[in-house]
Amino acid sequence: MGCRNCATTVTKFFSLGEIPLGNGFLTKEEIPHERTYDLSVGFCRNCYLTQLTKALPRDTLYRKMFYFPSAFEGILDARRARARDLAKRLRLNARSLVLDIGSNDGSQLQFFKKLGTNVLGVDPARNMAEMARRQSIPTIGEFFDWALARKLLAARNLRADLIVSLDLLNHVEDIKDFLKGVKLLLKPKGTAFFEFFLQRELDIINHEHVYYFSLLSLKSIFGNVQLQMYDADVHNGALRIYVSHPNVFPESARVRHLITQEISAGFDKLETYQRFARDITNRKAALVALLRSLKARGQRIAGYSAPEKGNVLLNYCGIGENYLDFIADMSALKQGLYTPGTHLLVYPPEKVYQAKPDYLLILCWNIAPEIIRQFRRYHAAGGRFILPVPTVKVL
């Protein structure tokens, strides 16, 4: 296949095989009809972009979502701080417009609105868009692309002082079309802010994540659509990117420093990613060996949270009823459904205290500290936690 950024031939270096969608929760009647899809990753030697070799149609992935940022206190705290910091840095006021692409349930825009700015969300998930509207966050329930940007510009003369997109840019297959839309709606001195988890070791491979960015690849991507990445930093494991029209702001020393670090670490070489692939294989072996050992000793193990990345991990490792007694998740939308591939019935969190498993496998490892706080009574009573990523450990 050709690179989605520069059209150079992509070299495939790792595959998780054929697995179902990580967010493809099922009713019992739907289980016999479940589909699986290839999940393989390749590397472009020209622009250094790591990407899925096959991407699924966006309608297959995003028309209904099960992820609610507003359900997690830590995420809300981060979004409150992000709104405050960006509003101060960019001097936003009552005349400013903040456009959130991939706005989900409106939880980020609510904090900009409280600061007095005008807000608008765009999200294709119908349930998310409706939830945001109920919170008085105006939301367009469509996919964002250049065509939608043209319609918004023509119909509303819409231009944004700040365009925010959280945990989305790496999901967009036609990234050049998407960024051309961003460029069209960005005011001459506006800023586009992108944030997503830094995946230095490819720990969150799934069908939704088409790309696994480095700063090296991002600089090429933005340059190809006449945008400039003028600042970047890493905060709590997330990569934060500040983008503008060319030559509006000087490129920061932080961008140059991060790119120099990547070159030193080999992010411009295929061999680095091949090593990451071996690490994933070794982590799988370590996790399965731990679970097998615990079950041999008669220990009861439950899974907690059923996010997309966690479901991909379970399927890749072959972890289902053979190792887990049950799985629980706080999302009411998931409860009563079956997990994709592994077909575990999802229970509410109270099940953990009722069944009292010896171990809880945390499948939303990126927010493990918050989960551990939520289950401090379970921990105090002797329950233990298993973290599968970045290294397998028992707490």
Of 324, 310, 323, the closest CA to residue 365 belongs to 310
CB count within 10 Å of CB 158 equals 15
Range of the domain at 352: 1-30+298-395
Residue with token string 């171990």: 359
Phi, psi of 388, rounded to the nearest 5 degrees: -90, -20
Structure confidence at residue 78 (pLDDT): 87
Which CATH number does the domain housing residue 170 bear?
3.40.50.150
Task: Tell me what percent of the residues of the chain surpass a pLDDT of 70.
Answer: 96
In whole angstroms, give the CA distance from residue 84 to residue 80.
6
Q: Domain check: are 311 and 238 in the same one? A: no
Of 208, 214, 173, 188, the closest CA to residue 39 belongs to 208
- Over residues 208-248, the pLDDT tens digits come to 899 999 999 999 999 999 999 999 998 877 899 999 999 99
Which range among 53-62, 63-72, 73-82, 168-177 shows the weakest confidence by mean pLDDT?
Answer: 63-72
- What's the whole-number mean pLDDT along residues 286-292? 97
Task: Tell me what percent of the residues of the chain surpass a pLDDT of 90.
Answer: 83
- What's the whole-number mean pLDDT along residues 277-294? 96
pLDDT at 65 over 70: no
Is residue 47 one of the residues assigned to a domain?
no
- What's the whole-number mean pLDDT along residues 323-330? 97
In whole angstroms, give the CA distance from residue 187 to residue 111.
21
Is residue 282 one of the residues assigned to a domain?
no
Whether residue 305 contacts residue 281, with contact meaning beta carbons closer than 8 Å, is answered with: no
Structure confidence at residue 71 (pLDDT): 58
Is residue 286 one of the residues assigned to a domain?
no
Structure confidence at residue 341 (pLDDT): 97
Structure confidence at residue 235 (pLDDT): 82
Is residue 57 one of the residues assigned to a domain?
no
Confidence of residue 343 (pLDDT cuts 50, 70, 90): very high
Structure confidence at residue 367 (pLDDT): 86
Structure confidence at residue 201 (pLDDT): 57
Confidence of residue 199 (pLDDT cuts 50, 70, 90): low
Is residue 277 one of the residues assigned to a domain?
no
Which range among 21-35, 55-69, 294-308, 335-349 shows the weakest confidence by mean pLDDT?
Answer: 55-69
Q: Domain check: are 320 and 255 in the same one? A: no
pLDDT at 68 over 80: no
C-alpha angle 13-208-31 in degrees, rounded to nearest 5: 105
Q: The whole model's pTM is what?
A: 0.86
In whole angstroms, give the CA distance from residue 378 to residue 385.
10
Of 291, 363, 368, 358, the closest CA to residue 328 belongs to 363
Structure confidence at residue 386 (pLDDT): 98
Q: Domain check: are 220 and 77 in the same one? A: yes
Give the chain's domain count: 2
Confidence of residue 202 (pLDDT cuts 50, 70, 90): low
Is residue 10 one of the residues assigned to a domain?
yes
Confidence of residue 67 (pLDDT cuts 50, 70, 90): low
Q: Domain check: are 182 and 224 in the same one? A: yes
Report the chain's mean pLDDT, rounded to a whole number. Answer: 93
What are the residue ranges of helices labelled H in the chain? Answer: 58-62, 73-90, 109-114, 126-134, 146-156, 175-185, 215-224, 253-265, 270-296, 308-317, 350-355, 368-374, 376-380
